[in-house]
Amino acid sequence: MKITIRLIVSLLLVVALVAVFFSFYQVRAEKIRLTGELERRAIVLAESLRESVIPLLQSNAFPKLNRLVQRFGNRERLKGFAVLDRQGNIIASTPELKPHIPQPLPQAVSAIAENRPIDGFLTIEGRKTYVFTLPLSAEDTLIGSLALFNDASYIDIRLEGIWTNTILRFLIMALFIAVITLLTVKWSITGPIARFAEWMRELRTGKSKVGQPVSAVRGDVLAPLISEAAQLAKSLAVARARAEEEARLRLQAESLWTANGLKEHMNAELGARKLFLISNREPYMHIKDGRTVKCIAPAGGLVTALDPVMRICDGVWIAHGSGEADREAADAGGKLRVPPEDPSYTLKRVWLIKEEEEGYYYGFSNEGLWPLCHITHTRPVFRLEDWVYYQKVNEKFAGALLEEISGEESPLVLIQDYQLALLPLLVKEKRPDAKVALFWHIPWPNPEAYGICPWHQEILLGMLGADIIGFHIQFHCNNFLDTVDRFLESKIDWEQFSVNRGGHTTLVKPFPISVSFEDASAHALTRPERAALRENILREIDVHADYLGVGVDRIDYTKGIVERFRAIERFLEKYPEFVGKFTFVELGAPSRTHIKRYRELAAEVEETVDRISWKFQDKGWRPIVFLKAHHGHEEINRFYRASDICMVTSLHDGMNLVAKEFVVTRDDEDGALILSQFTGASRELRDAIIINPYDVEEMADAIYLSLTMEPSERAERMKRMRSVVREHNVYRWAGNLITALARLRPSDIANEKRG
């Protein structure tokens, strides 16, 4: 009963505050309106009377003046008017009004002194009266003034009426609120709580299964709580299973995955079969550098992770040829061997016209799906023409892939990311024997957020054409299964984490992606070498500093770059002893500049850097150095090795491989990683300093902690993080994913023919 009373009182307080606020606004507006109308009427009448009064006043025709005053003194709401001399004393006045007019009249004195109309309110015979005084002049000489007296008591009556109606409406609403609240609490809370408690008791005692729905409690306010409780039960079951699996692997003394180990493993699993990998972004791009053509590796975690894998398996990578010189470097079929220095696999480029790229990539993929899947408060934009191009380009990729696998038996197909969500179904419709995996590199939203997309069912159907769908973390798998359960008629198996629809089963599994460990740790730097490297870098950026921080990002609103800079600003404000000593270098790669939001972000980033630099910079020192360019891996690694801290402050991220790349390069077991809690990497790199990127104060303190931490603690943290990345490297990720795909039983895909 107490909660019901508190709820009713809270609702009544809110309603009362709203009613008072809007009534106050209405009263204020009505008072201004009525006073304005009164003033306008007074001005019109005064101006019309002035033409008649001035000649009479000049000629001292006081009898005529008195008759004029008496004739015009009986208008609606006009108590009367008076003609006054220059001292504010009455010359002629409405008889009933004259005894109540103070002499001299203050408004008249002010009007004569300031030579302008003066208005105000007086109380005459107990009623509020509006007085408008107009100075009278003849031949540029002030000869007196004219004062109009209007009854203004109706204004207060009108305003009191508004407050009375407000109170009456509030009392009626209070009655309805109290009754409705009592009924709602009884029907939607008290009863459902008892049924929910009974379900929890059965779940605790083992009488109810984890995946069993609470059929007795549906459509009530407790539905979110029930959903979260069910998710918690599922998560506990998953955690228990994973803990058992980890214990089993430890007992088996599982060896580390290496490039050679993955190669041998894939030879055993795949035999002579090739791996066909499809993504929007290509691993190598050809651009023009003056008159020459240069090959570069585009920035991004996908290329970083998958290029080492493709080098091992000698497969075919199908991607959009986006470089300005890509056609010149490829053959007639759009193919070439890469990488240029050591050709190890085939790259097949798909050509898109400008309209296709604009609609499919910049439009639907990056103005629609990207903000939809990232909780960064950027509104998704969905346009029909973009969706049409998205479908066309997915069909174009499907055509290119089907051409390549035409001679393959049960080909292995690995599709990458959100740009190609329709591709699995398109491939399966033509090649039901193909084993298809889709890896989703970005987060998957909850069903409510995903439902924003107008074509949410079509995208899910396209994805479920795959035999395996991989995400970085279990949480995203759970969100995906919840989404399918919400929008499609299907059977969800929560124990196996699979979806069965139309006789086809899709496994939904977490495969945390990582980076290669071996190459980055091949050449450890001594302490003097690291000091020399830092000095060279500081000389190149023309800065003198004792401490160096680094951030490596695409210029994207999900990366929290502006928030990071504000944290640095706050850090220097809170800890002024680091002013002139700490410099942060941001290596920012321009991204998706065709999209307005990204252009605005780039401008905001530069403006923020300029503002902070202007605020703090001194001769020979800058707090932030922003290097906007596409940086190669060797250049980035130099900054990783020379820095004291690396900041990864993503507002929302699937994994974020920058964090792992930094850890891999720190073979000196030094340096601190400041890592956003909203990245997939934060689930693995628990010895990083985990922060909330929206909390500027927390990030500022994290920078201070990183720079003042005891060297022994910093080394222990880095050592443990390196151990995690060493064990869970990209070869392990690829081995697990490709093994799961290759080991699909023929019976799993035998019934998938769709005509």
Please state, in angstroms and rounded to a whole number, the distance separating the CA atoms of residues 146 and 732. 96
Confidence of residue 245 (pLDDT cuts 50, 70, 90): very low
Asked whether this chain's domains 259-510 and 537-728 adopt the same fold, the reply is: yes
Compare 290 and 482 and report the one with higher pLDDT.
482
Tell me which architecture the domain covering 259-510 has in CATH: 3-Layer(aba) Sandwich (3.40)
Query: Using DSSP, how many helices (H) and how many strands (E) does the chain show?
Result: 25, 23
| Mean of pLDDT values over 45-57 | 81
- The two structure tokens encoding residue 534: 């830092």
Say if domain 2-157 classifies as CATH 3.30.450.20: yes
CATH number of 537-728: 3.40.50.2000
Q: Identify the pLDDT of residue 299.
A: 64
Please state, in angstroms and rounded to a whole number, the distance separating the CA atoms of residues 64 and 32. 37
Confidence of residue 55 (pLDDT cuts 50, 70, 90): confident
| Mean of pLDDT values over 617-626 | 90
Please state, in angstroms and rounded to a whole number, the distance separating the CA atoms of residues 22 and 15. 11
**pTM of the full predicted structure?**
0.65
Compare 221 and 581 and report the one with higher pLDDT.
581
The CA-atom distances, in angstroms, between 443 and each of 197, 447, 455, 638, 676 are 33, 13, 18, 30, 14
Burial of 125 per CB tally in 10 Å (0-12, 13-18, 19+): exposed
DSSP 434: S
Confidence of residue 300 (pLDDT cuts 50, 70, 90): low
Domain ranges of the chain: 2-157, 222-254, 259-510, 537-728
pLDDT tens profile 383-432: 999 999 999 999 999 999 999 999 888 899 999 999 999 999 999 999 99
Strands 292-296 and 127-138: unpaired
Burial of 309 per CB tally in 10 Å (0-12, 13-18, 19+): buried
Asked whether residue 138 carries a pLDDT value surpassing 50, the answer given is: yes
